[in-house]
Chain A
Amino acid sequence: MKKAGYVLLVIGACLIFGGVMILNQPPQTIKAREVSKIGVVMNGSFIDRSYTQAQFDGLAEAAAAFEGVTLSCQDNVPVNDDFPRLVGSMIADGCEAIVCDNYLYDDYLLSLAEEYPDVEFYNASGTVTAENLSSYLGRMYQVRYLAGIVAGAQTQTNEIGYVLAFLTPETIRQLNAFAIGVRKVNPDAVVYVRRTEDWNDGEKAAAVTTALLDAHDIDVLTQHVNPISPLRVADERGVCTIGSNVDNRELFPDTCLTSCVFNWEPFFAARIDEMERNRSIGKHYWEGVRTGMVALTPLSEAVSAETEALVNAELSRLLDGSFDVFFGPVTDASGINRVRAGENISDEYLLYEMDWLVDGVVME
């Protein structure tokens, strides 16, 4: 009995010793983070053939290039308290990143970013950043500028229509960029602008477009809303259109001149790569034609070669950095010189403060 006691004691001692050794092991080297699941939560629909779909397609394409990365998706998510709950469940499900598409999610995302410091958050069109929260957008205004050149060159009536949702710095600067482009090639053209007061309501957009087209002799129309109903309306009337977000030329083969599109794939690819190397930083991305985040789709045959050459020339100026759309001089609609020659409007201003319209824009 005593012998058994001794044996037990020795075994116990060894166990304790071993346990201690194990406990005191220095922590094993940690692998760089492996991205396996990205959660996608979007306000719009993945099949809207527009903004949301562009995002989704870009992300899907980028993710496909990485081995083992899957997407967990939810669209048509409204901006309310369901949003953070959904995001929480996605994270619990194993998502290492969350991609969203609306600045209206900003506040929720700020608190979510704080709650989940190990998860990377990306919000398109967002305005806030945190250590693990990035907002991103493309300098669509550059492409709008090029589109404006096309429109200005194309119009016969010198009346161009522009349908947008709300007047926000985003829509204003794109509108202004468009108008600057128009005026560059056609100082006489006027851009008539009407608001739909809704980003996604197709019927409303169609109605506004109809009213706009009725009111003026517009032969080129462009839009800054998600639905493509304005294009349809224009197409029915034989009015040329310049699309946005997605290339819908096959829908409107006769009237579509070009489209201002996002190309999200490189951006997302870079982000996923960063994540895998554990180098994700929360910051504001605003990339333009130089990185290919925004682009003008190939011009239709209706556009003259001259115009195309001009477009290309302007594009290369944008590409080499010697020119940006809001390099002065810029005069607003009331005639005030807002930007002197040799000056540039700051990004800050463009993003958050632009509230005036350039010369040649008529707000209706």
Chain B
Amino acid sequence: MNESVRIRFSDPGVRRLLRTFILLLLALVMIGLFLYMRVNVLINRYMEVQGEKQAETLAELTERQFQVELTALYTVASEITHITGDRTSALLAVDRADSDGRIGVQYIDGSPFYGKAYSIDEFPCIERAVHGENAISYCAGEGLMFAVPAMRGDNIAFVVYRLFPDEVLYQRFGVNSYSGSGRTRVEDINDNVIVTSLPPDSDEQLIFNEPSAARGIQVLETTLYTSGSAAAFRNTSIGEVMLYAAVIEDSDYHLVGYVPKEVVMQGVQRISLLVILVFLVLAAMVFFGGFLLIGLERKSRESDALREAARIAEKSNAAKSEFLSNMSHDIRTPMNAIIGFTNLAIRDPSDTERVTEYLGKIRSSSNHLLSLINDVLEMSRIESGKIELEEKPCSLPEILHDLNTIIIGQVEAKQQELTMDALNVVNEDVYCDKLRLNQVLLNLLSNAVKYTPAGGHIAVRVSQLDSGDAEHGRYEFRVKDNGIGMSPEFAARVFEAFEREKTSTVSGIQGTGLGMAITKSIVDMMGGEIRVETEKGKGSEFIVSVSFRLQSAAAPDRRIPELAGLHALVVDDDFNTCDSATTLLTQIGLRPEWTLSGKEAVLRARQAHERGDGFRVFIVDWKLPDLSGIEVARQIRAAVGEDSPILLMTAYDWPTIKDEAIEAGVNGFCNKPLFLSELYGALTKVLGSVEEQKPQAEELAPISFAGRRLLLVDDIEMNREIAVAVLEMNDFEVEEACDGTEAVEKVTAAEPGYFDAVLMDVQMPTMNGYEATRAIRTSGTPNANIPIIAMTANAFDEDKKAALEAGMDGHVAKPVDVARLMEVLGGILRNEA
């Protein structure tokens, strides 16, 4: 559980996750940027609002300072008014007390009383004081004047002023903001500078005059008089500053100022940084969280996969156990028979009749056991994927005819009827594994024979379906019987290993139970499908659909021009055969008709001939219900003369009936199932009056093995004993070797011709058969090319191939089939002779 999860980037699942993850990261970055900018903007705005408030405070401060001044002056004024004594000295005292400003008193008509008299043009505040108001005004060059009326009752008696010259203004009234980092100045309504917070010509004050700052202040002033205060950040020569402004209440003045951004943002900047930091941390968490998720996902998927694998393994184990238990039962049964009958035979070997009977039973049990073991091995090899299909060029007609040949014996033995036909087979030549296909079809056929009672009917049909693909053909093989059928429950499980109808033991039908499983596996390997339609008591039909690669996409043109448009007559008691035959004849260019009855055929042939519109070609089935095919042929020949060729169709072998047929007037033969190429071939040959020569099976002279010497190589003594006995029974002389090395020694040491052949077991310790063969072949001795036949418990194609590749000349399977061994030996030694 704790093993590290390796993330493989080739895994599409991981890639998808990674993609989503990267997108998420991108989104996060975008959000982060947005957040950052927004935070900055919000902070800036907040700081500006703070700046406004600060400006207001400063303005208030200034106002209060002014107010204080005015109030003080007013007090002085009222005192002066009410002094009865020497006003002048009192005023002097006041003046001295505050040396920043100069006190002055003048009459309402403007004439001086104390100090300099100023005109109302210079200082409008004097006029306002004359009218009873406290007022302030500024005169450039003179300074800032505070003027108050000196009241006597409701009336104004004097104007008392205090004038602060320019030089003292910044000290007296300048306000510094932000603990001295900010600079301010007071301006009047026409933006004339009145009070500054520093000496007016200091650099820091001059900042106000910079274009950027001035512009910024202008912007502030556009809203200043409506909102009362304003602030904004602005870039200047000393960096970014916050400009602020506020009106000074009860006056025409306003205050403007600036403060460097850093001062303002000090603590606040940290907030921004904090936000960023938190965000980064979150992003990092998401990032790593993502990785973790991926890892977890993989782990969970892996554990899911593991769980699934465990489940499958368990299921497979269960299946294996079941399989084994079934198999062991199935193996034990024949073994029991063998052991039992052997014991019985040993008890009384002299009772030859009984012993022969027992031996027969032992043999059949042995064979059954052998086929079971072969099936099991086959099954296991298929399941472990060790089997590969060998696609070779095959001819479907040939396959079906071979099938016919193989199964016909069993069919006849049970007095059953077998019909084969082909439907719409346009492409007859394909690439397929002929051996496996045969295996499948043969299995189905033998089951059909097995599970159909005597007298039953088995039909085989091969048809070609539209594949939609020019390179491949889709074929369907149907094996139908009218036997005992299957129950629906069994039909669902028929393709599983060891499935047999529950009643099999009752009906006594033997089988390994693996046949259908193997068949299905092979069909699956071919990429096809197999299914069954069945009804209990009525019969079953197995349907195999499979695609084969075509040898040539083009459908060959099988038209016979001379027969174009001419009539043909098909006679067969099977409607399907008539159907396919007429279809094929039409493809050839004829105009076919058909009949199920032989008598009718004869009648129609005669009538047509008398009409003058006779049938040009006759295709007659050999086995007809009312009249035999040959008899029909005879009668038709009698009716229509010699011109029209008659072909005899048969599912069986010709040689037996050939002579009789020819004598009856038959011109040619064709095998069922009818394939276009074959029908075409038969017709052309007949028209060409070329008698078809069926290749004769070679008459083989029996060979005598007397005087032949073999070297038998096998590491197991018992095997050697049996083999030697069999060989000596067939007049061979036998020498033995226990393993490969001994064999190589003996062969290479022997004189040429001493041994006629070597029977080499393959599985041996020290040096196996293949190695020994190779050693012999490359020995360079005169016996190097001695015929070597492999004997092996492995009966599979690969082994045969391996044997041939090692340099061997033949192959027999163990347990040795004597007839087969003799055949192989005969074949090899005959060539040697």
Contacts and interface: CB of A to CB of B under 8 A. Distances in A.
Interface of A: 9, 13, 16-17, 20-21, 23-24, 26, 29-33, 117-118, 131-132, 274, 278-281, 320-324, 327-328, 339-340, 342-349, 353
A31 B222 contact: yes
A344 B156 contact: yes
Nearest to B132: A346
Closest 3 pairs between A and B when the two form their complex, measured CB to CB: A346-B132, A343-B155, A321-B120
The residue among B33, B44, B130, B225 with the most chain A CB atoms within 10 A of its own CB is B225
The residue among A23, A327, A342, A345 with the most chain B CB atoms within 10 A of its own CB is A342
B84 to A, nearest CB: 15
Interface in B118-146: 119-121, 126-127, 130-133
A130 B477 CA distance: 108
B222 A278 contact: yes
Interface in B290-319: none
B278 interface: no
Nearest to A349: B154
Given A281-B252, A324-B130, A32 B222 contact: yes
Nearest to B154: A349
Contacts, number: 107
B503 interface: no
10 contacts: A13-B26, A13-B27, A29-B215, A29-B219, A33-B222, A281-B189, A321-B109, A345-B154, A346-B155, A346-B156
B30 A13 contact: yes
Interface in B224-246: 224-226, 228, 232-233
Contact of A344 (B23, B41, B108, B221): B108
Contacts of B127: 321
B828 interface: no
Given A344-B130, A349-B132, A278 B37 contact: no
A279 B155 contact: no
B370 interface: no
A364 to B, nearest CB: 28
B225 A342 contact: no
Interface string B194-229: 000000000000000000000100010111111010
Given A344-B130, A345-B155, A327 B225 contact: no
Interface in B629-663: none
Contact of A339 (B155, B222, B223, B225): B155
A321 B37 CA distance: 61
B: contact size bracket: 35 or more
Interface in B146-201: 149, 151-152, 154-157, 189
Contact of A343 (B27, B156, B233): B156
Interface in B19-57: 23, 26-27, 30, 33-34, 37-38, 40-41, 44
B528 interface: no
A329 to B, nearest CB: 11
Given A32-B222, A328-B155, A342-B157, A323 B38 contact: no
The residue among A17, A21, A322 with the most chain B CB atoms within 10 A of its own CB is A322
B115 interface: no
Contact of A340 (B130, B152, B226): B152
A353 B34 CA distance: 65
A278 B155 contact: no
Contacts of B107: 342
Contact of A346 (B38, B44, B154, B219): B154
B826 interface: no
B109 A323 contact: yes
B132 to A, nearest CB: 3
B159 to A, nearest CB: 10
B711 to A, nearest CB: 71
A346 to B, nearest CB: 3
A142 to B, nearest CB: 12
A280 B130 contact: no
A20 B130 contact: no
A30 B37 contact: no
A228 B494 CA distance: 129
B154 A9 contact: no
B110 interface: yes
Contacts of A274: 189
The residue among A16, A26, A118, A279 with the most chain B CB atoms within 10 A of its own CB is A279
Interface in B94-121: 107-110, 119-121
A286 to B, nearest CB: 8
B132 A344 contact: yes
A322 B27 CA distance: 79
A346 B131 contact: yes
Nearest to B41: A24
A322 B120 CA distance: 9
Contacts of A339: 155
A172 to B, nearest CB: 15
A33 B223 CA distance: 9
A119 to B, nearest CB: 10
Contact of B157 (A26, A30, A343): A343
B156 A321 contact: no
A131 B189 CA distance: 15
Given A30-B219, A279-B189, A281-B225, A344 B38 contact: no
Given A280-B225, A346-B155, A349-B154, A24 B130 contact: no
Contacts of B110: 320-322
B226 A132 contact: yes
B226 A118 contact: yes
A328 B41 CA distance: 64
A325 to B, nearest CB: 12
Nearest to B120: A321
Nearest to B220: A30
Contacts of B26: 13
A245 to B, nearest CB: 24
Contacts of B151: 346
A29 B215 CA distance: 9
B225 A278 contact: yes
Contacts of B215: 29
B275 to A, nearest CB: 15
B148 to A, nearest CB: 12
A31 B215 CA distance: 12
Contacts of B189: 274, 279, 281
A23 B252 CA distance: 36
A21 B30 CA distance: 12
B320 to A, nearest CB: 44
A318 to B, nearest CB: 12
A176 to B, nearest CB: 14
